[in-house]
Amino acid sequence: MMAVTDKTLGGAMLLLATSVFSYYTIWAILLPLFESSNPIHDMFPSREWAVRIPAFLLIIGMSAIGLFVGSAIVADPTGC
């Protein structure tokens, strides 16, 4: 199996980030501008999840950072 080059991996990550950003922007910002009977509403989850998902990801990310810093402090033999 060939290794993926940095340029290819970076391009794929950029494409994924752009897709997620576009989807979320349409979902959270533009969707309220359409009438609720518009079929575009069927392509997106409920708007309450537009707040819940980022809040959950923020909590998970901050917890991971806290665990990393805490484990680094505990593992440091000098104590600080």
Following DSSP, what letter does each residue of 11-31 receive, concatenated?
Answer: HHHHHHHHHHHHHHHIIIIIG
**pLDDT for res 2:** 65
Residue 53 lies in a domain: yes
**Number of domains within the chain:** 1
- Cα 74 to the chain's mean position, in Å? 29
pTM: 0.69
pLDDT digits (tens, 9 = 90+) for 3-61: 789 899 999 999 999 999 999 999 999 999 999 899 989 999 988 999 999 999 999 99
**pLDDT for res 78:** 81
- Which range of residues forms the domain containing residue 3? 1-75
Residue 42 lies in a domain: yes
Residue 80 lies in a domain: no
